[in-house]
Amino acid sequence: MNDAPDYDSPWKEILDDYFEDFVLFFFPEAHAAIDWPRGVEFFDKELQKIVADAELGRRYADKLVKVWLKSGAEVWVMIHVEVQGNEERGFELRIHVYNHRIFERYNAPVASFVILTDDDPDWRPAEYRQELFGTETVFRFKAIKLIDYEARWAELSANPNVFAVVAMAHLRVIRTRRDLGARLNWKLELTKLLYERGYDKLTILKLFKFLDWLMWLPEELQQKYDEDLARYEEEKRMSYVTNIERKGIEKGRVEGRVEGALNLALRQLQHLFGPLAAETQDHIRSLPMEDLEELGDALLTFKDAGDLQAWLEAHPGRGM
């Protein structure tokens, strides 16, 4: 659990900032059809309202975006970043339900784009199908499996699109899951790549934050990374990440680690025992970081909900 970051938050930010680059990189045919000069509108809050009553588990649907086609039509794009590391039962149904509800709300075509960041080569959800007495429902959606880009590493290295860096970072997180020393080296190499590509300072800072959040390192290795990067910047005379910015990123790093540990614990517990009571969720949210990490290890031994309750009684949390 300790090396598992929360992928949702960095993805949300990078999608907000570079949505057109995202569509161009992963879905070039859609990019060619969209009238980008007309702009795009994000409807994330509306999306949460639309799916709020769906009893389908945790909601990974991160983005709902209104775009215009070059033909003049108004359409909607649902971006779904799936960060769960294992196959999920009912995933195709969930995407179908979200798509249909958005269509009902806006009465406009909806495209569902899915990014799969897990490392299971056999899990490739792309279709929901139901048939009864000759009535058949078939719903297909576009899903991108990031591990497929491993064979295209040279192409990624040469592609200036910011999502090439995003894809490379995810691939190296998977490859270095059991070798954090190698992750340190890759994190430094990918950070240097940001400078070598000639991105502007704002893009470097945003991608730096994304890499820092995604490619989690324990404190001693993170300190070495910071020192090596500082030397590199000094050698290149390219000090884009100032001390003030580093402090802000470090604060976000700590907050992100807590959020990631919390989300992972809740996700795993819901997978084991189904929906958790509101008071149980509040209790878990009140736990300090060290207890969250302990819970991540303990839940591997839980046999039923009684084990969870017994553990929570021994860890009251803040304000409980």
For 38-99, give the DSSP string. Answer: G--EE-HHHHHHHTTT--SSS--EEEEEEEEBTTS-EEEEEEEEE--SS--TTHHHHHHHHH
Residue 66, helix vs strand vs coil: strand
**205 φ/ψ sector (left φ>0, alpha ψ -120 to 50, else beta):** alpha
What are 229-235's contacts with CB under 8 Å, separation 24+? 229/188, 229/191, 232/188, 232/192, 232/195
pLDDT tens digits in sequence order for the chain, 320 residues long:
334 444 456 777 888 899 999 999 999 999 999 999 988 888 877 777 776 655 444 444 468 888 888 888 778 777 766 555 556 778 899 889 888 888 888 888 888 888 888 888 888 998 999 999 999 999 999 889 999 999 999 999 999 999 999 999 999 988 998 898 999 999 999 999 988 888 888 898 889 888 888 888 888 888 898 889 888 888 877 665 555 455 555 555 555 566 666 776 777 787 777 777 878 887 887 877 677 777 877 777 887 888 888 888 888 766 55
Give the burial string for 280-316 (b: 16+ CB within 10 Å, else e): beebbeebeeebbbbbbebbeebeeeeebeebbeebe
Look at residue 128 in the predicted model and tell me its pLDDT: 92
Look at residue 6 in the predicted model and tell me its pLDDT: 45
Lookup: tokens for 210:
């994304």
What lies within 8 Å, CB to CB, of 72 at 6+ separation is 35
Look at residue 258 in the predicted model and tell me its pLDDT: 61
- Please give the C-alpha separations between residue 198 and each of 15, 161, 202, in angstroms, as whole numbers: 21, 12, 11
- Interatomic CA distance for residues 294 and 291, integer angstroms: 5
Single-letter amino acid, residue 243 = N
**188 close to 228: Cβ distance less than 8 angstroms:** yes
Look at residue 28 in the predicted model and tell me its pLDDT: 94
Look at residue 256 in the predicted model and tell me its pLDDT: 58
Q: What angle do CA 64, 65, 69 make, to 5 degrees?
A: 140
Strands 74-82 and 61-68, by their bridges, are antiparallel
- Interatomic CA distance for residues 291 and 296, integer angstroms: 9
